[in-house]
Amino acid sequence: MRVTEDADDRPNDLPRAGGWFGYAPLSRSGLGRPASAESPQTADFTAGPETVPGATDLIIAGFEPIESLTGAVWIATVWPTEHRRTIPETPPGWLDEHSDGLVWFVRSPWPDISLTNVLSILWLAMGRSTEESEQRTMAAEVLAWQSERAHAAVDDLPT
């Protein structure tokens, strides 16, 4: 997707949502502002992870593509083995930024806690750590918690 600048230095062809930064997260769908004759735009309409052969079966089984949840795809590598799956990357050029050539799918280690809440617990536990090895260790520890501790952490999440 081509990005141009507005007078206020914000990219002007990103979808606006009014969140923290005023923009919706980008997705593989290539959605942005509607194109017009006055402002021609280009977009990359690359298929998302749900189109990879085998993905539908995993989604039906309760797994979700990690990249639809977070840009920190590495978090799937420390996910408990029984709650993660991978499919070899199939669309040409897809996930070029990741060298493992896999599409990662995860489900909650605690069936009654949503993946959104699991990720919130993880981000809070990792705090402001910037060391990747430390983040991996902390995430693996959290993902190994017993159900009671995970529920207590969800109860403590900010609203």
Domain boundary, last residue among 107, 122, 149: 107
| Together in a domain, 63 and 77 | yes
| Together in a domain, 143 and 117 | yes
Domain boundary, last residue among 87, 107, 127: 107
DSSP letter, residue 17 = -
Q: Per-residue pLDDT tens for 110-126? A: 999 999 999 999 999 99
pLDDT at 92 over 80: no
Domain of residue 150, residue span: 110-159
Any residues with CB less than 8 A from the CB of 132 and at least 6 apart, and which? 74
pLDDT of residue 96: 55
> pTM score, two decimals?
0.66
Residue 64 CA from chain centroid, whole number: 10
What is the tally of structural domains in the chain?
3
pLDDT at 52 over 90: no
Least-confidence region, from 34-38, 45-49, 51-55, 61-65:
34-38
Q: Per-residue pLDDT tens for 19-42? A: 333 333 433 333 334 444 454 444
Least-confidence region, from 11-15, 46-50, 77-81:
11-15
| Together in a domain, 158 and 117 | yes
| Together in a domain, 68 and 96 | yes
| Together in a domain, 102 and 143 | no
